[in-house]
Amino acid sequence: MRDSFRRDPSKLLVIAGPCVVESTDLLTTVATHLQAICRDLPVQLVFKSSYRKANRTSAGTFQGIGDIAALEMMREVGRDKGLPLLTDIHTDEEAAIAAEYVDVLQIPAFLSRQTSLLEAAASTGRVVNIKKGQFMAPEDMAKAAKKVQEAGNNNVWLTERGTTFGYHDLVVDFRSLVIMKQTGLPVIYDATHSVQQPSLGAESGGHRAMIPALARAAAAVGIDGLFFETHPDPKNALSDAATQLPLTEAEGFLKSILAIWKLRQ
């Protein structure tokens, strides 16, 4: 069992990495680059990737290379780089399995109200990051967090990732960050999923160009952490190709957010 991860409140929590595990080479490339640019910044880096993408627009699109194979790749890279790890889980049974490999279990937005999943994640003792459902009011996230806390785990994070806006689009209501902060729990802004256009054709689309502006707005409102997915070649990524940030832009992006985030400290 991995040691419990502890957040450093004096630093901006940065959760970043490729959307889904494609290969060891991809994980190593992204982790190495992120570690290098974060080394001298006031951030606490958590490396993320999903071992499987269970929620896809089409059943024929890429879902993963195999759960255990992907988790083992993540663990190998995490150990090599000395980085804590985060991944999504989808079923109660997956909580205990993934907890053997990673430090933070993430509850996907569409599953954020699933009581048994929240309780299963809580029982592992890992940090539980709950993505706000696109259909949820921000004040309802306190109820989701309470399910984890009442199961004996107080190490809970809350993440904003946009709200359904008509069909095939999301909008970010920045009031949600203020409302969720009232829980006293760390609040994270998901900069890449928030610009997604869900189920647009055979795949989800997105407005990648809007990522920096919305992230700067979130930093100005006040956040404890920033989540973003990044890939060396986003247009050829096997998942979320329209919204992953090009890896070469990660350093400038982070520095622009930190310039604003520091003003609120």
**Domains (ranges, CATH) in the chain?**
12-264 (3.20.20.70)
pTM for the full model? 0.95
pLDDT in tens, 253-262: 999 999 999 9
* Mean pLDDT over the full length of the chain: 95
Of 32, 73, 13, 82, whose CA–CA distance to 49 is shortest? 73
Pairing mode, strands 170-171 and 163-164: antiparallel
Nearest to residue 134, comparing CAs of 79, 188, 197? Answer: 197
132 burial (CB, 10 Å; 0-12 / 13-18 / 19+) is: buried
Q: pLDDT digit string (tens) for 125-179?
A: 999 999 999 999 999 999 999 999 999 999 999 999 999 999 999 999 999 999 9
Q: pLDDT at position 4, please?
A: 79
What's the confidence (pLDDT) of residue 145? 98
What percent of the chain stands above pLDDT 90? 90
Report pLDDT for 199: 81
Distance from C-alpha of 76 to C-alpha of 27, rounded to nearest angstrom:
10
Q: Quick one: pLDDT at residue 19?
A: 96
Token reading at 246? 């090009």
* pLDDT band, residue 38 (cuts 50/70/90): very high
| Exposure string over 94-111, b if 16+ CB within 10 A, otherwise e | bbeebbebbbbbbbbbeb
For residue 56, what pLDDT band results from cuts at 50, 70 and 90?
A: low
What does the pLDDT read at residue 205?
A: 86
Q: Looking at the predicted structure, is the pLDDT value of residue 42 above 90?
A: yes
Q: Please state the rounded mean pLDDT for residues 233-247.
A: 95
Tokens linked to 118: 């929240």
> For 192-232, how does the pLDDT look when each residue is reduced to its tens digit (9 = 90+)?
999 999 987 767 789 999 999 999 999 999 999 999 999 99
Residue-level pLDDT at 201: 72
DSSP the chain: -PPPP---TTSEEEEEE-SB---HHHHHHHHHHHHHHHTTSSEEEEEE-BS-----SSTTS---S-HHHHHHHHHHHHHHHT--EEEE--SHHHHHHHHTT-SEEEE-GGGTT-HHHHHHHHHTTSEEEEEPPTT--GGGHHHHHHHHHHTT---EEEEE--EE-SSS-EE--THHHHHHHTTTS-EEEETTGGGEETT-TTS-EE-GGGHHHHHHHHHHH--SEEEEEEESSGGG-SS-TTTPEEGGGHHHHHHHHHHHHGGG-
66-98: per-residue pLDDT in tens? 999 999 999 999 999 999 999 999 999 999 999
